[in-house]
Structure 1
Amino acid sequence: MRALVLTQHFTPEVTAGRFRIEAFVEALVDRGHDVDVVCPVPNHPQGVIQPGYRGRPVIRRRVGGADVTYVWVTTSPRKTFVTRLGFYGSFAAAASTVGAIRRRPDVIVASSPPLPVGAAGAVLAVRHRRPWVLDARDLWPESAVALGELSDRRLIALAERLERRLYASATAVVTVNDAFRREIAARAPGEAVIEVIPNGTSPEWLEASAAEPDRDSLALPRDRFIWAYAGNIGLAHGLEFAVEAAAPLGESHLLLIIGEGPRRAAVERRAAALSGAIELRPLMPPARAAEHLRAADALFVSESQERTVASKLYDYCAVGRPVIAACRGELRRVVEEAGVGLTVPYGDPGALTAAVRRLGDDSALRERLCARGKEFARAHLREAQARRFADLVERVAAAADR
């Protein structure tokens, strides 16, 4: 079987979308299938094309058994509606062009958001007269509207029509949780095939939980309660209120923030006024991030959207540290039902401060949450989810040939 995969993020970028689709690609390759991946030249989250990928419109490389085509896109460190539209639109156009002239695939996979990737998948399905699978990791345009990225009513209406058409034209839709599945089902035709394949973690993150933390080697203080965040510092995460929560905790606590994103500069400005209470470190490879998270006492996840389950929850649980989740809706339900952490209302610095203090004062609670977290992580291994995805793709391709 030959699969053509379109994704806005892929190796070597460090982002949740990359790790999900990369696992799916690896599962297909492991079964002996030929996989072609089309993605932008790596530029996320800084908005700057990485060295080694500049100066050429198309770069082809072999990555993990798959043929990967990196295409040039317009990108910018300034994250505005116009620059995002240019980024998304330029990739959709390039992916459609490259995909149209590639050898005919047996099945096409498009991973969204953003929505134009799905549109490219639908176009190529028509071009090659083959089935296609939409991996809907988030609800667009709903998410973009909620985060203030999209406000023009005409554009919203246009995006909503495109969303429904993609759900209707896809042979199958995959999404990450039941809340998303219900929303997609409400917008898709009654006969639509919708399957939930959650995000997950990897054995490497679970192995990190066995390591003895070495704060000295990481230049972290031994004598302070460290609560840490690692990931995108973006619009959905509201880390500014975490900075406010850190202020009353004093010198006995340290908020460690690891990552990049459009809100990092704003977080840095607020943190500058709180000397010693907060430390920001740059984006780092996953293995190095796991060492930092394992060396912390508690891990912080923040999500403003009702239906989203932050993918970092699975990795947090895997490293054996208790979680504090500032959230609402689906993420709150998952954390509380699994018993892996404390939840507080999103945007409430007072409640967040209290939760950090509670974990710091109760070692038995920390140990109980850690144990449940590792159980939760073992039940959500990314490799197992990828095998389910490969099963679905194989069924879709086989059904088209009957």
Structure 2
Amino acid sequence: MKDILIITNYFPPETGAASNRIYHLAEGLQKHNFVVTVVTPLPNYPKGEVFKAYRGQFKHTSTENDITIHRLWLYASNSKNKLLRLFAMLSYSFSLIWFFMWNKIPKKVIIQSPPLLVAFTSVFFLRSKKRKVILNVSDLWPLAGLELGAFKKNFSYKLLEKIERFNYKHADLILGQSQEILSHVNSIFPKKETFLYRNYPDFDAALPNLQTDSSMKLKMVYAGLLGVAQGILKLCQELDYTKVQFHIYGAGAEQIAIQELIKKHPELDIIYHGEISRTALHQELINYDFTIIPLLNRIYGSVPSKIFEYARLGIPMLYFGGGEGEYLINKHELGWVAESSNYKDLNTVISKIELSKLELTNRKKIQLTALENFDFNNQLIQLVEVI
């Protein structure tokens, strides 16, 4: 049995791709004879408030499925105020330092990045010739922040770039969720050991059974974070509803604005369903004709995990985000692609969707593609060999 520590900002009972990704990694390593410990903040995402069951605690330790989980204090906030958000990240970093001082740290450590400052704190204090530091990079910060408009190329941005480089330099192995991430890392440190570790799902899915009704509008669904990066509010405003009815599941910063838009413009064929559990969501998603995966702007290095999850469910996808995700949709014939940020092209693509591409035979083909190409356990076996 080998000990391994995973340091992450997100973990269940929080929802979303980030927490699911780390949970499945921890569970998978545990099944491969690792003694897994997870260090994470008290649950607070996405609302920026510590969950009721954990309030008033400085540290909460539990064992779940033979995984030891230490949840540490932080100042929870999802405020738009940059200083408050910075303090929230620093508060978790301070808790991590306290944890490192009073606990024995295993010889192998996986550190989730971003957040960049949390990863920096972990790499800085845990780098050692006797310890293997593994950096799991899911998005390229600060570059992604620059492309989203959250940063400008000023002193702060240059400082974050130096922190990013420090993290890469002192990591013994870097895991990246996309080839673009690994290319970026190797452009800075050509000899750095890297491993492509995509966010493949780990769940059993029933065979799809939907039969599309040609007499009605196509039912398009989005499920996930209603944040600025996804651009769902703008999508609602720009869609041509002649052929499509738009269903939305999720929560986030744009939720209230989306609900207000629906209320003020009942002529728009939009139905908001709120937020439901992942298991319940899977049961709902298979009832729709196709799903849309949008990004407001193309983000270098980003590959939405929804691609792999929806393929496992056998759901045709309309990808609207550019980059490597677009390449995967085309390569594996998982659906359609519209030019990033071009809403005219998006509406044209929707208007040309053929019913034959939505029916049962094609859905089973998509699901078979996922089983052959996006297998979590096969990927995990390869990862275990390199860590």
TM superposition score normalised by structure 1: 0.88
Report deviation, 1:342.
Answer: 0.7
- 1:88 maps to 89
Q: Which moved more, 1:64-73 or 1:99-108?
A: 99-108
Amino acid at match of 1:264: Q
Structure 1 SS opposite 2:325: helix
Q: Distance in 1 between matches of 2:87 and 2:381?
A: 34
Asked if 2 retains the 8 angstrom alpha-carbon contact of 1:341 and 1:369, the reply is no
Aligned to 1:235: 228
| Structure 1 pair 183–282 and aligned structure 2 pair: CA distance change class (3 A) | same
CA contact (8 A) 1:241 1:349 kept: no
| Deviation at residue 392 of structure 1 after TM alignment | 2.3
Pairwise mapping of residues 95-174 of structure 1 onto structure 2 (< 5 A)? 95-126=96-127, 129-151=130-152, 153-174=154-175
1:282 corresponds to 2:283: no
- Equivalent residue for 2:199? 199
Q: Deviations over 1:25-53 (max 9, x none)?
A: 11221122221111011111111211211
Counterpart selection for 1:386 from 380, 383, 387: 380
4+ residue runs over 6 A deviation: none
Alignment of 1:38-53 (within 5 A): 38-53=39-54
Contact in 2 for aligned 1:96/1:123 (Cα 8 Å): no
Task: Tell me whether 96-105 or 44-53 shows the greater mean CA deviation.
Answer: 96-105
1:383 to partner: Cα distance: 3.1
From 345, 350, 364, the equivalent of 1:351 is 345
**2:253 paired residue number:** 262
The change in CA–CA distance for 1:6 and 1:225 in structure 2 (over 3 A counts) is same
Of the three residues 307, 314, 327, the one matched with 1:313 is 307
After superposition, the C-alpha distances for 1:67-101 in whole angstroms (9 at most, x for unaligned) are 10111211224334223212222222212321332
Q: How many Å apart are 1:128 and its aligned residue?
A: 9.3
Indicate the structure with greater helix content: 1
> 2:288 is matched with which residue?
296
Deviates more, 1:73-82 or 1:109-118: 73-82
Whether contact under 8 Å (2:319, 2:338) holds in the other structure is yes
Structure 2 counterpart SS, 1:289: helix
C-alpha contact 2:226 2:253 (8 A) present in aligned 1: yes
* Residue 254 of structure 1: how far off its partner (Å): 2.0
How far apart are 1:214 and its partner, in Å? 11
Number of positions where the alignment pairs a residue of Structure 1 with one of Structure 2: 379
TM-score (norm 2): 0.91
Unaligned runs of 5+ in 2: none
CA offsets, 1:294-321, max 9 Å, x none? 1111100012214311111111122222
SS at match of 1:234: coil
Whichever residue aligns with residue 239 of structure 1, its letter is I
Cα RMSD after superposing both structures: 2.3
Q: What is the alpha-carbon distance in structure 2 between the residues aligned to residue 383 and residue 271 of structure 1?
A: 42
Cα distance change on mapping 1:321 and 1:27 into 2, 3 Å: closer
Whether the aligned pair in 2 keeps the contact of 1:24 and 1:387 (CA below 8 Å) is no
* Cα distance per residue 1:170-226 (max 9 Å; x no partner): 0100101111111111122x321111111212233x33xx265699xxxxxx95421
Q: Distance in 1 between matches of 2:362 and 2:80?
A: 37
The whole-number CA distance in structure 1 between the counterparts of 2:3 and 2:231 is: 42
